[in-house]
Amino acid sequence: MITKKRMRMLSLPAIAMAGLALEAAIPAVQAAEFSEAELFVELNDTDGDLGIHGSVDGGAYSRLKIEGPNGRPIYFVKASGSLARQGLTQLFFESAEPTFDELPPEDFFRRFPEGAYEIEAVSLGGEEIEATVTLSHVMAAPVGNVTINGIPAAENCDAVPLPAVSAPVIIDWDPVATSHPEIGKSGPVEIVRYQFFVEREGVKLSVDLPPTVTRFEAPAEILALGDEFKFEIIARTATGNNTAIESCFTLQ
The last residue of a domain, from among 135, 159, 183 = 135
The last residue of a domain, from among 106, 135, 164 = 135
Whether residue 157 is found in the same domain as residue 194: yes
Domain extent, residue 241, equals 144-251
221-243: string of b/e by CB count within 10 Å (b at 16+)? Answer: ebbeeeeebebbbbbbbebbbbb
Cα-based angle 215, 162, 197 (whole degrees, multiple of 5):
35
CA-nearest of 181, 74, 60 to 133 is 74
Question: Could you give the percent of the chain with pLDDT greater than 70?
Answer: 88
Residue 29 pLDDT:
44
Whether residue 151 is found in the same domain as residue 239: yes
Whether residue 156 is found in the same domain as residue 243: yes
> Residue 3: pLDDT above 80?
no
CATH (domain of 180): 2.60.40.10
Whether residue 246 is found in the same domain as residue 148: yes
Higher pLDDT, 218 or 16: 218
> Residue 129: pLDDT above 60?
yes
In a domain, 27, yes or no: no
Residue 201 pLDDT:
80
In a domain, 23, yes or no: no
Quick: pLDDT tens for 55-86: 999 989 999 999 999 999 999 999 999 999 99
